[in-house]
Amino acid sequence: MKVLPGTRERIARTLKGEAETVPILAQINEHVVRLCGGDMREAYTDAKTFVEMNLAVFQYYRLDLPGFYYDIYNIEAEALGQRLTWEPDRMPDIDRRHPLIREQSDLDRLRPPDFRRAGRMPFVLEVMRRSYELGLPVRVRFCSPFSLAVNVRGIENLLLDILTSPRFAHRLLTFLTDEVLIPWVQAQREATGQPKVPGNGADAAASPPLVNVEILEEFVAPYVARMNECIGNVTSMGYWGYSYLYRHPEKFYRMLGLMAAMSPGALMCLDPDVARTGPEPYAAYAREKKMSLMLGLDTLLLQNGPLPKIVEQCRRYVLAGARAERLVMFFNDVSVHTPPRNVHTAIAAVRHFGKLPVEDRPLQSFQPPEMESFESFLRSYRAG
């Protein structure tokens, strides 16, 4: 396991805002394991294997910031006792047939997990330690309060609680925030040796049409704010579904405002919503609020192409997104079925059209990149 020449420098330039092109971050979960020919269970339980695989793939694609995504949504729920399901070609997932809190009274028996022993929390802490020892600033991550409540209670049960028993819903969210998530973020910070490193929450379940703006205002945003008040430097991202609100401008912009409040450093807007509405509203909002903008490219587009469509979409997002204070391109959940050529093409397109300062380069100016196979890269990587 080694860091290739230029990798740390590329990361440092990106973090300082000195990159020569629009930076690229990619959520590459199962794709990493498939490329490396690894075993899913081993990859998501053995920190050494996980870091080795992710480091190799990160450097193969020459991404700008290390993602090193494990199954972020499951860690705290599993540590509390929630069952998971494991499949050969998938990372683990919540067993939604058996929620941990079937009855409201089940909350009374829950206790905060031992972060050094419970579930795969030790795996995450070891991933953090190993990454920082390599000089790789991998993010401290957690499942945001609302999505964690969904994972231990079930989405239908939680929404019913919100409608018929809101006091219980708040009690559940308070327990998860105060007794699980706040100390868990602090435990990860301790593992990195960086007590002020940002904590990044993931909260996809708190998105329309699963929830409305009123639920976001009462049951989602206040608990992210609660974490910030207690330990500071915490954000929550991963929201989607804004295209469902786009025809209702008042609610659409209320949601963007909530997203900005929960992640004041960067507004993260993802496909398929961005593709449905166009990237322009998000770029304009980020510019108005003097925020960075992160635009997420669609999983299925990356997987299925065709290549000209990938290039065209990258160009459109870069040109529109460059109107914000700063733009980062994000590749949504690169799947096991995504050909490496598609990923390389998307990266090359972002770097071509996103050369700073961004100019309106014609689509025909793009040339497909030369591509080394991962097998060839891995041989030289291991030999060198």
Per-residue tokens: 310: 């990938």
Kindly state whether residues 329 and 228 are assigned to the same domain.
no
Asked which of 246, 263, 280 is the last residue of a domain, the reply is 263
Same-domain status, 166 and 215: yes
Please count the structural domains in the chain.
2
pLDDT of residue 134: 93
Task: Round to whole Å and give the CA distance between 81 and 226.
Answer: 24
Task: Decide the pairing of beta strands 90-94 and 84-87.
Answer: antiparallel
**39 plus 49 within the same structural domain:** yes
Q: Do residues 43 and 130 share a domain? A: no
306 and 225 belong to one structural domain: no
pLDDT in tens, 188-245: 999 999 899 999 999 999 999 999 999 999 999 999 999 999 999 999 999 999 999 9
Question: Do residues 258 and 269 share a domain?
Answer: no
- Asked if 252 and 178 sit in the same domain, the reply is yes
Q: Which residues contact 273 (CB under 8 A, 6 or more apart)?
A: 240, 241, 242, 243
Give pLDDT, residue 89.
Answer: 85
Amino acid 1: pLDDT: 67
Q: What is the pTM of this model?
A: 0.96
- 110 and 63 housed in the same domain: no
Shared-domain flag, residues 166 and 188: yes
User: Is 87 found in the same domain as 205?
Assistant: yes
Beta strands in the chain (DSSP E): 24-28, 84-87, 90-94, 140-143, 199-202, 234-237, 266-270, 292-297, 326-334
Does 138 lie in the same domain as 191? Answer: yes
**Which CATH number does the domain housing residue 246 bear?**
3.20.20.210
**Structure confidence by residue, pLDDT tens digits, 28-45:** 999 999 999 999 999 999
Same domain for 322 and 214? no
Burial 161-183 (b: 16+ CB within 10 A, else e): bbeeeeebbbebbebbbbebbbe
Write out residues in the chain with pLDDT < 50, as ranges: none
- Which one of 263, 298, 331 terminates a domain? 263
Question: Which range of residues forms the domain containing residue 293?
Answer: 1-69+265-384
